[in-house]
Structure 1
Amino acid sequence: MLLLGIDIGTSSIKVSVVDAETQTSVASARYPDDHENNILSVIPGWAEQSPDMWWEQVSLAIRKLTDNASFRTKDIAAIGIAYQMHGLVVVDRAGNPLRNSIIWCDSRAVEIGEEAFHKIGQEHALAHLLNSPGNFTASKWAWVKANEPDTYTRAHQIMLPGDYIGLKLTGEATTSISALSEGVFWDFKANRISSDVVRCFGFDESIFPAIKPLFGEHGTLRREVAAQLGLKPGIPVCYKAGDQPNNALSLNVLKPGEVAATAGTSGVIYAVSDQLVYDPASRVNTFAHVNYTPETPRTGVLLCINGTGILNRWVKEHFGHGLTYPQMNSLGKAVSPGSNGLKIMPFGNGAERILHNKILGARFIDLDFNAHGRSHVFRASQEGIAYAFRYGLDIIRENGMNPEVIRAGQANMFLSGLFTEIFVDITRAPVELYENDGSVGAALGAGIGSGIFTSPEEAFSRLKAVRTVEPRAAPHYEAYYQEWKQLLEDQLSNETGTT
């Protein structure tokens, strides 16, 4: 029996067909596979992508698999979807997007979210929403209401990116508690869509799709779409989750105290709790995990750094002409720790939650034209990303969670042995690396939702660590980090006018 997983990333779309018995991929495809998708930013701090681009690329990626299939397409029993979190998709009655999606790293709604935080009451909002509205989906929809009244009036429904792809596949618009929580629409204490958020922003609750279990049927594949994709009609979509909860599921991170990490375009540490916990300053954010129920709460405390892999890509484009990532890593490894004094702040991809939603921009500090070359830039960028992870991990530790080990997929920045070593040495947390993939996780999630597996634990029973990287005796890194941290805090003080 086969399962199809779709992962809607910021950079590309990935799809996989997974054998439910072996829990391994039998075929996969990425689109585009020769470049990364752009983020549209017509005004600094804005970030958009076209939902129709996602759907076109989902279709093209699936056709890559089915046109020359080495498997029997009729054996695909269920479909799962993982997607970039927090994006706003607005559709009309025919299900057509009325504008580009305002995606996760867009910063335009920060002030709107902060105003709502004060109106609702900070303590009340944190106790019920587990977050400030910040620049999450609810605030983005409020921005549309205030600035694009024609779009707001014509809108039939709003949804997350994965909900939109589910709509295109099935013709049905659905969502889940987990999705609503990541948009900061969900009241965890009242166990319903937040009346505080709806009232504060003046929303109509009819704008939300039907709420379905995350593991459960969200519609079936339409006949005309099945013909377009080379699949059989009627396959159920049985799982939809944001990319970070899905990454945690893919790493079998389901129990309180377990921790997952990823370092793609953005960087995330995701810790599971059995409490409705929140950071008083909303620097890290709590959402409903894939296995959340009101009776047995499982929440994911998410640290997000917008500027991680996107910095590494930018460095490659502007300093690594003709080099591959492994070649960059090799050159960076030849430079001593500390990059001969060069320090890089990776915060060039919108408002950073760990920095109180400030937009600081990326910075090169103490660059010396006579002392530094591109090898120093390669190492300093990876050190700066690892320092940002440490800064955020210390916030998680302040909130009572102290990971003994972090699980990560051997992908993106964790493909770099240099970055992995720096990350482990500066966080002092061992990292277990796995051969995991978001689209494979989404496929196995569909196996859970369809009942092929009786539990998430069964779906990932064959998961084994490829290797474990332990912290080394690297006392120099603590001093380098403290210097970097002081520069960051000086910058934050200058931004807020404090001394």
Structure 2
Amino acid sequence: MYLGLDLGTSGLKGVVVDAAQKIVAETTAPLTVSRPHDGWSEQSPADWVAAAEAVFAALPTQVRAGVRAIGLSGQMHGATLLDAADNVLRPSILWNDTRAHAEAAKLDADPRFRALTGNIVFPGFTAPKLLWVRAHEPDLYGRVAKVLLPKDYLRLWLTGEHVAEMSDAAGTSWLDTGARDWSEDLLAATGLGRDHMPRLVEGSEVSGRLRPEVAGRFGFAPGVVVAGGAGDNAAAGIGVGVVKAGQAFVSLGTSGVLFAANDGYRPDAATAVHTFCHALPGAWHQMGVILAATDALNWFARLTGASAAELTQSLGALQAPGKTRFLPYLGGERTPLNDAAIRGAFIGLEHATDRDAAVRAVLEGVTFAIRDCRDALAATGTRISRLLAVGGGSRSDYWLKAIATALGTPVQVPVAGDFGGAFGAARLAIMAATGAGAEIATLPAIDRTIDPDSQLSAAFDAGHACYRAARDAIRGLT
């Protein structure tokens, strides 16, 4: 059996599969986020270890005893700082922490960063956070011996090894993404060197073996392999079988992601598309990322006192976008704006705007933001021939119909099941333990396909044009 661990912001999930990739056990442990100041987002790495201990303890004894390999998936970009004795120096600064926006702009102004990483230096990436620590916590910065990403700190506890893998490392702003290696020039720009970094492996390779102390405590067999794993979105790509050019998925979670596999490296940082290594050797992927997807719907649900399900279940058949528009920039935006300061808005409110009209506007606003991502990916030459829908928002057929119509692409909905980061991590564990490759990352069975509504295509094109005009009009107003 094979265990996949997905370290998210709100919890750690464990999924165990057998050799046929059938899920035999799963469990979760919750996590909380600390926000001590405006724009800050932190977690204690000790809480990640405690969550892993809780997940292990919750798995049946016979399941733990049969685990042959463990794969890791995790939230990206977090700066976890260790001293020479591997003591944690401060809470980890997470992906959605924006305190380092000025430092990110400074690094992004250095042309080497876009040239070597293939990406804009976003405030949430790891490198600018180290500049912030150097400026605001200089004594602590001077004690930094290793910088690890969140899941790689969990790996350190599991194996005793400082190891990262390509897909997660590509989100640090220190990786030469085309060469799949740390850039000493980019590290030096933040006062660091290669010795501050973990060694690199591919996601499907062995990164180490489970420490005897951990194995003995929880009843794992000796010598359990720990795979390189992947950043959360790359792991989800492995989980849903998006590993070849033309394949893509849209994730409607707290944030929104349009993820496309590539058969080569085709960066275009100016589009604000994320171009990262995939979790498989010699493969890359691209992502358009929006910061509020179901988060926007949940925000509106709190405002109205109804649940998100209640808001969406009575919408009926897809309608043309109305006069009311919603801009989903509740905490800034990544693709294609790269704007941490922009904020959301309702426009076109009128007496006729009732609750259903406002809900449709929220769904349409997120849909149009995803279309912006599709257009940004297309500007790099990426084409999408197969689009899967995953995440909590994919339970709304109305939303999926809007996305299919706005993008002009059928949206496929997998049969019920877990195809997320933990499942993808379990697949990477199989690869590391058996030598299998991309052939085991198959596409899931499809429950249904949501086709575009051709009669509303022109209306959604016009709605998107109005959305873009409103977006450009509000920039700089907050």
TM-score, normalisation: structure 2: 0.91
* Corresponding residue number in structure 1 for 2:41: 47
- The residue aligned with 2:142 is 153
- 8 Å CA contact 1:178–1:214 kept in 2: the answer is yes
Map 1:312-461 onto structure 2 (within 5 A).
312-321=297-306, 323=307, 325-333=308-316, 336-338=319-321, 340-368=322-350, 370-409=351-390, 411-434=391-414, 435=417, 436-451=419-434, 454-457=436-439, 459-461=440-442
| Counterpart position of 1:74 | 65
Per-residue CA shift, 1:281-325, capped at 9, x if unaligned? 1511211111233xxxx211111111112222323333244x3x4
- Amino acid of the structure 2 residue aligned with 1:226: A
User: Who is 2:25 aligned against?
Assistant: 27
CA contact (8 A) 1:79 1:239 kept: no
8 Å CA contact 1:386, 1:422 repeated in 2: yes
Specify the code of the residue in structure 2 equivalent to 1:406: L
Q: Which residue pairs with 2:448 in the alignment?
A: 467
3-state secondary structure, aligned to 2:207: coil
CA deviation string 1:130-167 (max 9, x = no partner): 11323211111221122111221222211111101111
Residue 104 of structure 2 is matched in structure 1 by 113
Measured in 2, the distance between the counterparts of 1:256 and 1:336 equals 33
Report the secondary structure of 1:433's partner residue.
strand
Q: CA deviation at 1:116?
A: 1.9
Residue identity in the other structure for 1:405: R
| 3-state SS of 2:169 partner | helix
Matches within 5 A, 1:288-299: 288-293=277-282, 298-299=283-284
Q: Give the AA of the match of 2:408.
A: R
2:54 matched residue in structure 1 = 60
The answer to which of 206-215 and 81-90 deviates more is 206-215
Aligned 8 A contact 1:215 1:449 in 2:
yes
User: 1:308 is matched with which residue?
Assistant: 293
Please give the alpha-carbon distance, in whole angstroms, between the structure 2 residues aligned to 1:485 and 1:79: 44
Name the SS of the counterpart of 2:206 in structure 1.
Answer: coil
Tell me how far 1:20 sits from its aligned partner: 1.5
Distance 1:40 1:336, change over 3 A: farther
1:237-276: CA deviation from partner (whole Å, max 9, x where unpaired): 1132001111111121212232222121211112222333
2:85 paired with 1:87: no
| Aligned match of 1:221 | 210
Task: Give, in whole Å, the separation in 1 of the partners of 2:197 and 2:13.
Answer: 27
Q: Contact between 2:252 and 2:394, CA under 8 Å: does it hold in 1?
A: yes
Q: Indicate conservation of the 8 Å contact 1:45/1:351, yes or no.
A: no
Q: Calculate the aligned-residue CA RMSD, in Å.
A: 2.4
Shift of 1:363: 1.9
Q: Which ranges of structure 2 fall in alignment gaps of 5 or more residues?
A: none
CA distance in 1: counterparts of 2:399 and 2:102, whole angstroms:
34
Please give the alpha-carbon distance, in whole angstroms, between the structure 2 residues aligned to 1:326 and 1:206: 50
1:96 corresponding residue in structure 2: 87
Counterpart code for 1:275: G
Partner Cα separation in structure 2 for residue 331 and residue 197 of structure 1:
52
Q: Which moved more, 1:157-166 or 1:377-386?
A: 377-386
**Within 1, Cα distance between the matches of 2:443 and 2:171?**
29
- Aligned CA distance change for structure 1 residues 31 and 315 (closer, same or farther; 3 Å): farther
Task: Give the distance between the partners of 1:408 and 1:95, measured in 2 at CA.
Answer: 40
Deviations 1:373-427 (A, max 9, x none): 4433333222211111011211111221221221233x31112212211111111
Runs of at least 5 residues in structure 1 that lack an aligned partner in the other structure: none
Helix, strand or coil at the partner of 2:209: coil
Secondary structure at the aligned position of 1:255 is classed as: coil
Q: How many residues align?
A: 472
Letter in 2 for 1:56: A
Taking only the aligned residue pairs, the percentage that are identical comes to 28
- Cα deviation for residue 208 of structure 1 reads 0.7
Residue 194 in 1 paired to residue 206 in 2? no
Whether 1:260 aligns to 2:249 is yes
Structure 2 contact 317–398 (Cα < 8 Å) conserved: no
Q: Secondary structure at the match of 1:13?
A: strand
State the Cα distance separating 1:443 from its structure 2 match. Answer: 0.7
Q: 1:489 aligns with which of 451, 458, 472?
A: 472
The whole-number CA distance in structure 1 between the counterparts of 2:407 and 2:398 is 14
- 1:274 equivalent in alignment to 2:263: yes
Q: Which moved more, 1:221-230 or 1:88-97?
A: 221-230
Q: Matches of 1:307 and 1:199 in 2, distance apart? A: 34
- Between the aligned partners of 1:180 and 1:227, the Cα distance in structure 2 is 31
